[in-house]
Structure 1
Amino acid sequence: MATPTVALLPVWGAGHLMSMLEAGKRLLARGGRALSLTVLVMRPPTEHEARDVDGHIRREEAADGVRFVRLPAVEPPRDAVGIEEFVSRFVQLHAPHVRAAVSALQASPAPAAALVIDFFCTTLLDVARDLAVPAYVYFTSNASMLALFLRLPSLHEEVTVEFEEMDGAAVHVPGLPPLPPTCLPNPVMDKKNPNYTWFVYHGRRFAETDGVIVNTAAELERSVLAAIADGRCTRGLRAPAVYPIGPVISFDPPRPDEQPPHECARWLDAQPPASVVLLCFGSVGFFDAPRGHEVARGLERSGHRFLWVLRGPPSPGSRYPSDANLAELLPDGFLERTKGRGLVWPTKAPQKEILAHAAVGGFVTHAGWNSILESLWSGVPMAPWPLYAEQHLNAFTLVAYMGVAVAMKVDRKRNNFVEAAELERAVKELMGGGEEGTKAREKATEMKAACRNAVEEGGSSYAALQRLAEELCTKK
């Protein structure tokens, strides 16, 4: 008899797709020969994204027990006002194709033991329910963000004004310190915006699932996970079962012996241990000239060694950064004045490899959750510079909840601008001997051990993944 399969439905962004694929492969390993994986692939809305997804799939297709099923393309919505509404509606248009694909699995010798969907895909819970297939959400962000999602339907009723109009009152999310409204995710800051409506919708529907799989470890967010389990985030609704299985990090295969190390790694080899601050801002983070000049001034005045992955504004029609034109984005003479203690890298860089290098002692990050996990995995303290999505909440939790970061003043009203003097101060604190930086380094070292222990046999995430695999095996 064929092995029952777990159907995965990721969205196409690299931070979502690769995380879910890696989680699926770990689940496959825990389930042994009792499970297989079927990945349902939505064709992304742009050719650039489609090429990226095709490249990821080509690298993964050889994995044992993993099969990819490409869904028919759909026409993207043209009137969406933001990325959250766009993705949610685009996914919703795939419902007939997902239904057909899962129905085909159910009629095959290898029926679906479960459908695991990205957290933007909760409209498709109706498909799973109609076909009597257990449904789980894979949550690529942290438990703190999950708690906010679950709390949001109640907050929507309790807070009748915009959150930023709460007259200094804090937003209360069980398990977290009182949350300043200015730290809420971008889509939550305007209740009249459809993006907010979709966040409330997804948060309500999480309670209908058979469980939520979260890319975190119990040791990182223990009080938040306890609050979710106790039902304090879902007042009046059933609390979903939560499986914290992280950190889920997909590591690139080792370079062949004959292949030289990346140029950034070779530059780091010549630097003293823990002496370099890395600045890197995710797959869609970029700087224009005014912001680039401001950062350069702050770095130069800090006196510290740095590796700055600098990307330029997207080309017309694209949302992805271009390779940086250093002559436009940097002040005159900056590269000459910082030669020897700084490297500006104008294109993509191997962030995980860089963070793991002994020369890196701090990380100025956009506070995307995948980047945070990579930093914690290597025990590198951070200075968060949030840019979009849930990153303002992540920045708050890094400083006020986890204690692994140095706070940095980010002017949200000026499109998340950071003054040169503030960057200089944060880098000096992060890399120097100040109390805040010292505590962040000590806590990051603790978190490094906690992350690695969690995924080892006998660790908390290992056990959560084992429980999930056993549960799915009983549903076949």
Structure 2
Amino acid sequence: MKETEIVFIPSPGIGHLLSTVEMAKLLFNRDERLSITVLIMKLPNDSTPTSSASASAYGSDTSRIRFVHLPTPTQVDSELPKSVMHFFCDFIHSHKTHVRDVVADITRSHSVRLAGVVVDMFCTTMIDVANEFGVPSFVFFTSGASFLGLMFHLQSLQDNQNQDITEFHDSDAELLVPTFTNPIPAKLLPSVVLDKGGSCTLFLAIFRKFRETKGILVNTFAELESHAIKSLSTLSSDGDDNIPPIYPVEPILNIKEGGGGGEVTHNNQEQYDAIMSWLDDQPPSSVVFLCFGSMGSFGDNQVKEIAHALESSGHRFLWSLRRPPPKGSMDLPHDYSNPEDVLPEGFLERTVGKGMGKVIGWAPQAAVLSHSAVGGFVSHCGWNSTLESIWCGVPVATWPLYAEQQMNAFELVRELGLAVELKLDYRRDFFWSSDEVGLLRAEEIESGIRQVMMDGEIRKKLPSQADAAGFLFIRSIWDGSWPLVLINCFKKLKLTA
């Protein structure tokens, strides 16, 4: 019998890569005939050790998975582009030849049979490569089902009703979207769909391309987004909207390795040990954790407002504080060499020095959220962070920054009642500048911290950490997990041995 091969193509960036790796691991662990190839693209100026992060997610068991690092095309300009969306689309597209070469090598092999290609939500241009070789393609959508439905809705408004989506910019309109039970304020739409410079057209074209695939794997689960999943499934079964079958694939989390871009390596083991040791000394549910993702950072004035809020709140805190990249740079945030340079004078002595808090840079986010000492999470509401907070049973105070995070915050607060609103419509553009945008005052931040640490109703709705651990164990021993759905889908297409 020939071994079956599936090619995964994640977007560059640690969050997308780790989610893809975790999903691939769950899949091939369910069928011994299955092998996986993961194609890795690396952004210019990205110093994140994506290769070591990928390998660490698998430990020593790499016999049936391989990572192919695609060369960065020399024609890609690493300088600040017309827009982030234009740069990203051009960057992904420039790898098409390299992807085609890898797929061609696999199809020429006599020992494996290529069953399909699974592309990240931003890599839909690679669907053309799958079509060239006559193999099915699937999309791995790393956000939630509600947001997926919103984007299909906006794309339909543009294509079928000739509506200019960018006209919602600065609008007080509210949208009725099938995957949401509440009207959506237009001011919460992602910046990219409100951009009049062409980014909106590029972004919606991605979702138009989704319709060419055999299915969409969504990083969610029915208990969380039952309304959205039912709505999408109805649209898919009706056939009128040409939406492929939707497969909720459970929360794909990298809990074991730290998650959220916080994977533990030999380079940061000492930091990890110091963080966990400090948490071990804190009472249960007493610490508020502030962390804003691999691309989240603030300017000096906002940092000072956060510091004042933490000090005034009186709550213990663990604060992941990152330095913004230089103005106009496409670099990612980094740790401060000396946090005192940006914090209010005497803040560390009055708080950290008295055992009230700890200021860190890099954070093993999932490991922190899993700790019994953590009772609240001030978050940017990236989807991975959203799933991790729910999984670990930690209430969230919403502080979205960019991408679809405003919509994730809206879903948590208004749709699900699983978070408190610190701010829903805060937004800033990454890669553009480190200037202050929509400064949040200390009083607002302090109020959000107090609410998230004291709201017992939200805490009752969230699973306990024991519930999460139990489900993780059951999933690890249950052969009926979701990956069989995808394997059976390949079998129906008569592409497996």
Alignment-derived partner of residue 445 in structure 1: 463
How far did residue 454 of structure 1 move? 8.3
Q: Distance in 1 between matches of 2:400 and 2:366?
A: 19
The C-alpha deviation readout for 1:331-362, integer Å capped at 9, x for no partner, is 11112222435323332021111111111000
Note the 1:389-468 alignment, pairs <5 A.
389-409=403-423, 411-412=426-427, 415-432=437-454, 437-445=455-463, 449=467, 453=471, 456-457=474-475, 463-468=481-486
Match of 2:122 among 120, 123, 148: 120
Question: Once the 2 structures are TM-superposed, how far is the Cα of residue 469 of structure 1 from its aligned partner?
Answer: 1.7
> Which secondary structure does the structure 1 equivalent of 2:422 belong to?
coil
- In structure 2, stretches of 5+ residues that fail to align are 259-263, 429-435
Do structure 1's residue 142 and structure 2's residue 169 form an aligned pair? no
* Cα distance in 1 between the residues matched to 2:144 and 2:467: 18
Change (3 A) 1:368 1:459: farther
- Alignment partner of 1:246 is 2:250: yes
| Unmatched 5+ stretches in structure 1 | none
**In the superposition, relative to structure 1, how do residues 449 and 418 fare at CA in structure 2: closer, same or farther (>3 Å)?**
farther
Match of 1:175 among 150, 155, 179: 179
Q: Compared with structure 1, are the counterparts of its residues 458 and 338 closer, same or farther at alpha carbon in structure 2 (3 Å cutoff)?
A: closer
CA contact (8 A) 2:10 2:39 kept: yes
Alignment of 1:7-86 (within 5 A): 7-30=7-30, 32-42=31-41, 44-49=42-47, 52-59=49-56, 60=58, 62-74=61-73, 75-77=75-77, 80-86=81-87
Kindly provide the CA deviation profile for residues 169-204 of structure 1, in whole angstroms up to 9, marking residues without a partner as x.
2122212121111111121122x2332112110111
- Name the residue aligned to 2:334: 322
Deviates more, 1:452-461 or 1:440-449: 452-461
Displacement after TM superposition at 1:237 (Å): 2.5
- The counterpart of 1:284, out of the listed 287, 292, 295, is 295
For 1:46, give the aligned amino acid: P
Deviation, structure 1 residue 48: 3.2
**Residue 68 of structure 1: SS of its match in structure 2?**
strand
2:191 equivalent in structure 1: 186
How far is the alpha carbon of 1:67 from its aligned partner? 1.7
Distance 1:415 1:472 in 2: 48
CA distance in 1, matches of 2:171, 2:179: 23
User: 1:199-238 maps to which residues of 2 (within 5 A)?
Assistant: 199-231=203-235, 236-238=240-242
* TM-score normalised per structure 1: 0.90
Quick one: which amino acid aligns to residue 188 of structure 1? V
One-letter amino acid matched to 2:334: S
Q: Does the Cα contact within 8 Å between 1:377 and 1:452 map onto a contact in 2? A: no
Q: Helix, strand or coil for the counterpart of 1:174? A: coil
The counterpart of 2:278, out of the listed 267, 273, 282, is 267
Contact 1:150 1:233 (C-alpha < 8 Å) held by counterparts: no
User: Does the C-alpha gap of structure 1 residues 454 and 322 become closer, same or farther in structure 2, counting only changes over 3 Å?
Assistant: closer
Q: 2:389 is matched with which residue?
A: 375
Q: Sort the Cα spacing of 1:124 and 1:277 in 2 relative to 1 into closer, same or farther, 3 A.
A: same
Deviation at 1:168, TM superposition (A): 2.8
CA contact (8 A) 1:279 1:306 kept: yes
Structure-2 change in CA distance of 1:72 and 1:165 (3 Å): closer
Q: Give 1:446 shift.
A: 7.0
What SS does the corresponding residue of 2:175 show, helix, strand or coil? coil
The 2-side partners of 1:267 and 1:470 are apart by: 47
**SS of match in other structure, 2:275:** helix
> Is the CA contact 1:376–1:451 (under 8 Å) kept in the aligned structure 2?
no
SS state at 1:230 partner: helix
Please state if 1:351 is matched with 2:365: yes
Distance 1:235 1:460 in 2: 33
| Structure 2 CA distance for aligned equivalents of residues 459 and 170 of structure 1 | 45
Distance in 2, Cα, partners of 1:161 & 1:65: 45
Quote the Cα distance in structure 1 between the aligned partners of 2:472 and 2:221.
6
Quickly say closer, same or farther: Cα 1:368–1:232, change in 2 above 3 A.
same
Please tell me whether the aligned partners of residues 287 and 317 of structure 2 are also in contact (alpha carbons under 8 angstroms): yes
Structure 2: how far apart are the matches of 1:279 and 1:244? 29
Amino acid at match of 1:89: D
Aligned to 1:93: 94
CA contact (8 A) 1:376 1:448 kept: no
Is the Cα–Cα contact under 8 Å of residues 217 and 461 in structure 1 kept in the other structure? no
Moved more, 401-410 or 338-347: 338-347
**In the TM superposition, what is the alpha-carbon distance from 1:93 to its structure 2 partner?**
1.5
- SS state at 2:7 partner: strand
Any idea what SS the aligned residue of 2:173 has? coil
For residue 319 of structure 1, report the CA deviation from its aligned partner: 1.9
Residue 333 in 1 paired to residue 353 in 2?
Answer: no
Q: Secondary structure at the match of 2:82?
A: coil
**Counterpart Cα distance in 2 of 1:358 and 1:198:** 44
Tell me the CA shift for residue 39 of structure 1.
1.4
**What is the CA deviation profile of residues 145-178 of structure 1, one whole-angstrom value per residue up to 9, with x for unaligned ones?**
2112222211223643635358532122212121
Could you say what secondary structure the match of 1:406 adopts?
A: strand
One-letter code of the match for 2:17? L
Q: Could you tell me whether the CA contact under 8 Å between 1:309 and 1:347 is conserved in 2?
A: yes
The answer to whether structure 1 residue 475 and structure 2 residue 495 are counterparts is yes
Q: TM-score, normalised by structure 2?
A: 0.86
Distance 1:80 1:144 in 2: 30
Q: Deviations over 1:384-411 (max 9, x none)?
A: 1111111111111110112110011354
What are the superposed Cα offsets for residues 412-469 of structure 1, whole Å, 9 maximum, x if unpaired? 486253211111111111112xxxx222211223798479648844999964322112
Checking the alignment, whether the CA contact within 8 Å between 1:306 and 1:341 is kept in structure 2 is: no
What's 2:154 paired with?
152
Q: What amino acid maps onto 1:92 in structure 2?
A: H
For residues 377 and 413 of structure 2, the distance between their equivalents in structure 1, rounded to whole angstroms, comes to 13
Instruction: Return the alpha-carbon distance in structure 2 between the equivalents of residues 234 and 98 of structure 1.
Output: 34
The residue type paired with residue 457 of structure 2 is K
- For the residue of structure 1 that corresponds to 2:12, the secondary structure is coil
Q: Deviations over 1:265-287 (max 9, x none)?
A: 11111211111110011111112
Distance in structure 1 (CA, Å) of the matches to 2:381 and 2:39? 29
Deviations 1:215-251 (CA, angstroms, capped at 9, x unpaired): 1111110100111111189994312111111211123
Counterpart AA for 2:486: L
**Alpha carbons of structure 1 residues 93 and 266: separation in structure 2 relative to 1, 3 Å:** same
